[in-house]
Amino acid sequence: MKTQWVKGLQPGHDVATYFGIFDMSIGKTKSGAKFLKLLIGDRTGTVEGRVWDPALAEDLYRELSPGDVAIVHGTVTEFNGLQVNIEVCLKADKSELDLNDFRPVTERDIPEMRAKFTSLAGRVSDPHLKRLLEAVFTPGFLDSFSTATAARQVHHAYGGGLLEHTLEVMEYCSKVIEVQGERLNGDLLLTGAVLHDVGKLWEYDQSGLTFRRTGVGQLLGGHVILGHDFLREKLAEIEGFPEGLALHLDHLILSHHGQREWGAVEEPRTIEAVALHHADLMSARINQVGQMVKSHKGPDAWTSFDRRLGRSIYVPEKKAEQRGDGL
C-alpha cells in the first residue's frame, strides 16, 4: 500500500513508500563519482531522486527501467526544488499494486462509476444483446476496463478514463432514448455505447505508467478495428445471435467516429449510429475543453491555442478569480 504521496513531501521528511520510475540516467559529480538521477513519482506529481552511492547507483541502473515501480527509502532535501536522496530502492511487483496510484487518474470515484455502468447496462432487455454483454463483461474484464485509459492525450487520458467516457456516452444515449422513444432501437444504441471503445484496451499499453499506443494499436487500425474484431469473436461464441442485429452492432463500432478523417471506417448510416457518434463526440469534446479550462493558468482570460481543437477557449472567471474582484 502506498503511504506517502509526492504532493505531501516536505524537506526533512523521511520517505518509505512506493514510487513509479519515470526516467533515469547516470550522472557524474564534480569529483568524477557516478550517481543515479531519477525522476520518481505518483498520481500527485513527480520529484527528482538521487542515489549518491556509486556502486548502488550502477546496480540500480542495471536492475531498474522507466515504467517500473520501486519501494524507495530516503530523505527529502531541497536543491533546485525538492529532491529525494535515496538509500534503498527495491523493484516491486507491479501486479500487486494499483497502477492508477502511479499515473494520472480520473477525479471520479471508480467503484461508483462501475456500479452506475453495471446498472445502466442492465437496462438492455433484448435477450441476445443481454447475453453478449454478459459474455464480454466478466468480472475480470470489468476490472481491466474500469482502470484503463481512453487515450494517450486529448480526452479522458487517465486511468479510469475509459470507464468514465463510456459511462458518459451511455448516459447521453439514455437521454436520446428518452427523448426520441420509439424512433430508435434503444437496446441496440445502449449496447453500442457500452462496446464502442472496448478496443482501447488493446490500442493502449494499459499496464504502463505512461499511456502509449501498442504495436497492435498502431498497426491494425486502432480501437475501431480492434473493437470490431473483438466483437466478431464474441458474437461467434453466442449461438443463434441474429445476423441482422450483429450487422447493426458492427456498424455502430465501425462508424462511431463519424467521419473517415476521424478514423471511422464508414460514416454513420443508421439512426442509432448517428446518435452514438454525437454522444461520443459530446463526451470527448466536453472533457477535452474541460481539461483545457482546468489546466489554464495565468491572468489571461483565454487558454493557449489548441492545435487539435483549432481554437483557444475563453475562461473569464479564472481571470476574475486571480484578480480577486469576482468580476
End-to-end CA distance of the chain: 45
Closest to Fe ion by CB, 15 vs 167, is: 167
Residues contacting residue 184 through CB under 8 Å, at least 6 positions apart? 176, 177, 271, 272, 275
Q: Which residues pair with 50 in a beta bridge?
A: 37, 85
Report yes or no: 167 and 109 within 8 Å, Cβ to Cβ: no
Query: Least distance in Å: CB of 149 to Fe ion?
Result: 12
Query: Least distance in Å: CB of 259 to Fe ion?
Result: 12
Q: Which residues bind Fe ion (CB under 5 A)?
A: 197, 280
∠ CA 41-67-294, nearest 5°, is 50
Closest to Fe ion by CB, 42 vs 272, is: 272
Query: Least distance in Å: CB of 216 to Fe ion?
Result: 16
Residue 51, SS3 per DSSP: strand
Closest to Fe ion by CB, 125 vs 153, is: 153
Residues 50-54: contacts with CB within 8 Å, 24+ apart?
50/83, 50/84, 50/85, 50/86, 51/86, 51/89, 52/85, 53/87
Query: Least distance in Å: CB of 15 to Fe ion?
Result: 39
Closest to Fe ion by CB, 24 vs 194, is: 194
Query: Least distance in Å: CB of 310 to Fe ion?
Result: 20
Closest to Fe ion by CB, 40 vs 193, is: 193
Grid coordinates given for 294: 482546468
Q: What is the largest CA-CA distance in the chain?
A: 79
Closest to Fe ion by CB, 187 vs 280, is: 280
Query: Least distance in Å: CB of 278 to Fe ion?
Result: 11
